[in-house]
């Protein structure tokens, strides 16, 4: 009887000597955890899918800025569709899809998350040019240039991921200690490089651009106060510019805070000089927190825009299936 119970705790009972053991959790807690994580995954997919459909369908939304939002939504959509469900499978510590798919999972993980970070950095650059150099924005930021930047972002993310995961791609499952395990480990040097490329550099760029935008907004606010007598048209233009700058500054500020909150815990081992390993329960929490940034991105970037609420209403009511619905005025 004891042998049967022990065999039942194994991921693969037929492999008594090499199989990993399942962690014992109360059924209620396990079900609650699965429901919570599955809901987050579904919410991430739905929110980002709404952004993708909105920008792709309505012609008025085919702008350089929205192309960046579309790329971000696509990367975040795949986080909810591919990465979150795979991470749910890892909760039981029994990976039944083989070493090759385990390696491919982490490879796709790196591509998608690094692309998401790159998209956020491109969006901050776009907003910086739009606010600090509005007269030359139409010539500097064109749809063709944005498409090239988006493609480069995805290609560079794939190339970078292949370098970071070279050992894993060459020898799948090299760090697994038993059958049914899916472990990912990078050494201190690779972790330090990853920290600089996907965290330090992007957040530095975003902060610097945000501070520049803040300075411009403050200087224009002071200029408004100093010119108490102005032509009505000039005053209207200045007020519109000030409102736009404040909105952009507020949005970028939220992006910075959320980015730090979601990414800092994941990069703590690298900051502390430790190896990064997904076998640690702390890092499992950090990974989910990082993934949750993909759920928040559509809220930060899209829900702040009135056109998104109009687009969602048309999508939910199936009005986008009507002829010429792509020409609808939603701005």
Three-state secondary structure along 211-249? Answer: HHHHHHHHHHHHHHHHCCCCCHHHHHHHHHHHHHHHHHH
Rounded to a whole number of angstroms, the CA Rg of the chain reads 24
Domain assignment present for 229: yes
The list of the chain residues with pLDDT below 70 reads 1-8, 16, 23, 92-93, 217, 220-253, 269-281, 301-303
Domain assignment present for 322: no
For residue 188, what are the domain limits? 67-295
Hey, what long-range contacts does 149-154 have (CB within 8 A, 24 or more apart)? Answer: 149/122, 150/67, 150/68, 150/71, 150/119, 150/122, 153/71, 153/115, 153/118, 153/119, 153/122, 154/71, 154/111, 154/115
Query: How many whole angstroms separate alpha carbon 292 and alpha carbon 290?
Result: 5
| pLDDT tens readout for residues 205-251 | 888 887 887 787 677 666 666 654 444 444 444 445 455 555 655 66
Domain assignment present for 33: no
User: Which residues pair with residue 277 across a beta bridge?
Assistant: 185
Query: How many whole angstroms separate alpha carbon 110 and alpha carbon 161?
Result: 6
Helical H segments across 22-142, by residue range:
27-57, 64-78, 84-89, 98-132, 137-140
CATH code of 258's domain:
1.20.1070.10
Domain assignment present for 309: no
CB 103 within 8 A of CB 165: yes
Contacts of 271 (CB under 8 A, 6+ apart): 195
pLDDT at 80: 93
Give pTM, 2 decimals: 0.83
pLDDT at 246: 58
Domain assignment present for 38: no
Query: How many whole angstroms separate alpha carbon 265 and alpha carbon 287?
Result: 8
pLDDT at 150: 96
Query: How many whole angstroms separate alpha carbon 4 and alpha carbon 127?
Result: 62
Domain assignment present for 311: no
CB 79 within 8 A of CB 137: no
Domain assignment present for 44: no
Residue 60's nearest CA partner among 247, 300, 307, 241 is 307
Domain assignment present for 244: yes
Domain count, the chain: 1
pLDDT at 146: 95
Helix (H, G, I), strand (E, B), or coil: what is residue 312? Answer: helix
Cα 115-119-125 angle, rounded to 5 deg: 145
């Amino acid at each position: 009887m004891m042998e049967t119970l022990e065999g039942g705790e194994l991921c693969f009972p037929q492999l008594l000597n090499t199989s990993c053991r399942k962690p014992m959790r109360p059924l209620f807690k396990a079900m609650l955890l699965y429901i919570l994580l599955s809901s987050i995954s579904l919410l991430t997919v739905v929110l980002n899918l709404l952004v993708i459909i909105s920008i792709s369908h309505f012609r008025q939304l085919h702008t350089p800025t929205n192309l960046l939002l579309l790329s971000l939504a696509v990367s975040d959509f795949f986080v909810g569709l591919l990465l979150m469900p795979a991470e749910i499978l890892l909760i039981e510590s029994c990976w039944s899809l083989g070493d090759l798919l385990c390696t491919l999972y982490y490879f796709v993980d790196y591509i998608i998350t690094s692309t998401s970070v790159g998209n956020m950095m491109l969006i901050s650059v776009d907003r910086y040019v739009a606010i600090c150099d509005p007269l030359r924005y139409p010539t500097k930021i064109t749809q063709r240039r944005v498409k090239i930047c988006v493609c480069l972002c995805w290609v560079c993310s794939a190339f970078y991921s292949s370098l970071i995961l070279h050992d894993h791609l060459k020898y799948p499952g090299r760090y697994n200690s038993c059958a049914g395990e899916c472990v990912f480990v990078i050494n201190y040097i690779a972790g330090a490089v990853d920290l600089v490329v996907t965290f330090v550099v992007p957040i530095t760029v975003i902060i610097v651009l945000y501070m520049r935008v803040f300075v411009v907004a403050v200087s224009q606010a002071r200029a408004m106060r100093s010119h108490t007598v102005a032509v009505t048209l000039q005053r209207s233009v200045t007020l519109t510019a000030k409102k736009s700058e404040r909105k952009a500054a507020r949005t970028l500020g939220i992006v910075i805070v959320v980015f730090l909150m979601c990414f800092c815990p994941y990069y703590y081992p690298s900051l502390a000089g430790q190896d990064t390993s997904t076998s640690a329960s702390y890092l499992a929490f950090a990974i989910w927190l990082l993934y949750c940034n993909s759920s928040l991105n559509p809220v930060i970037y899209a829900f702040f825009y009135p056109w998104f609420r109009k687009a969602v209403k048309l999508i939910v009511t199936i009005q986008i299936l009507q002829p010429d619905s792509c020409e609808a005025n939603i701005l």
